[in-house]
Structure 1
């Protein structure tokens, strides 16, 4: 167990506990720039890390708050899980024919970070602008209706499936924004719970896929988990005392700069 990995896990977990987002978008660049891991290994390890750490959050949202809309989760997963599996297959094929995939992963990571940075700022504006009432069925109260509603939700899942599998980034902030826009009358608590519930199978499928390709460092994964779990717990308890309106723009700016570095590398 490396103390540096444990402290990094704690720091990222702490920020996630305070802001509610930023796990993959902070962890993957940290592993690449600070510890020198290959982008593909950082992505694969972070995907399994995300799947494990987010599971506890869903138990809270589903069991205590009843704030997961499983219909929306199912529709998004209908798009995201098959696309994630196909993306893993494409990566495997490119590796088998000797293609260098580091550039592809790095570019995808940069794009995902830039989109996440923008999403963090937009998310804050949307949450402040709308007072949402809890609805018994978000499907019937979305911005669109009928087959259009279903098709857009599945398509959103498909886009997230490819982006998250390539970069490990986007399941949180981008998923939240998509649900906010598609289902504007859904309560904020249910938006967060639904996005979290969808992120778990997506990151699990993508992470297992990368594991099958040898892109997961389990020693690193264990160290990150040891640090992150208490970090999330402490950050969650301090979140009410630390002004999010200050932290979120700083986090968004940091992710934007890191994203640009990846894209322009």
Structure 2
């Protein structure tokens, strides 16, 4: 029964994650914590939930990256620049997780989830901040329809933001795309589909680095990870397909509502102990 539930969780989380660039961890971690509190399900600590989620996201990132590579929407050079910050940040975050107990983790993670839902609400309402071509890197991209885009960013600012995102990813077991994608769109002027694809490309090495740390710390439940991986792999393919077929506004609305409910529940559980 546990395997079936986790297979479905992996499928749904990865589908939504790769569709809008979240990575899926923001769904997997609360799910593991919830089921871990039930008598018929094995106990899951916050550290194990985070470590298992990040290990699973290696396969989500790999599957979706391979699919986005075929669509030629990944900005490899920018992704590697951001990785300079997100890599060390994710390792540091993984170590910090060890210092959090269940109650404090629930409160902080609940606040983080609600913040992400607010970001999802505002990202379509805000206009990108103009960038100065003489102050950083300039990129051009032409999509399959022949439409050309120009965007750019300051490498130092990009690496700093990526470090913060990687740090939060390592702490909470999320892919980081929930913050990185809006930043890439609003601050760095990335085309949305390039931002999502590049975010998933970043999630792969970031998850590998933080997962290694969690493996060393003994924070990965291998049985649960093996149950999540098949759904995560298939779900990533589904999300990439839907990304090219659907307008994600309705899905984002549903996800945002779910995140608020989950976030408030986690904060409540953390406070009442």
TM-score by length of 2: 0.77
Task: Give unmatched runs, 5+ long, in structure 1.
Answer: 95-99, 129-133
Displacement of 1:19: 5.0
Deviations 1:230-259 (A, max 9, x none): 344455556677763333212101112212
Residue-pair matches, total: 246
The answer (yes or no) to whether the contact 1:109–1:169 under 8 Å persists in 2 is no
Distance 2:192 2:121 in 1: 16
Identify the range of structure 1 (151-160 vs 67-76) with the bigger mean alpha-carbon deviation: 67-76
The answer (yes or no) to whether the contact 2:109–2:266 under 8 Å persists in 1 is yes
- The structure richer in helix per residue is 1
Secondary structure of 1:216's aligned partner: coil
CA-based RMSD of the aligned residues comes to 3.0
The answer (yes or no) to whether the contact 2:21–2:197 under 8 Å persists in 1 is no
Distance 1:72 1:240 in 2: 22
Task: Give unmatched runs, 5+ long, in structure 2.
Answer: 38-43, 129-138, 143-149
Q: Work out which of the residue numbers 82, 87, 112 in structure 2 matches 1:81.
A: 87
Identify the range of structure 1 (12-21 vs 190-199) with the bigger mean alpha-carbon deviation: 12-21
Deviations 1:164-211 (A, max 9, x none): 100012512211011112221x32222112111111111211111111
**Structure-1 residue corresponding to 2:203:** 199
**Structure-1 residue corresponding to 2:108:** 108
- The structure richer in strand per residue is 2
CA change 1:14–1:178 in 2 (3 A) is closer
TM-score by length of 1: 0.79
**Structure-2 residue corresponding to 1:57:** 64
CA change 1:20–1:11 in 2 (3 A) is same
**Structure-2 residue corresponding to 1:97:** none
The answer (yes or no) to whether the contact 1:105–1:166 under 8 Å persists in 2 is no
CA change 1:217–1:121 in 2 (3 A) is same
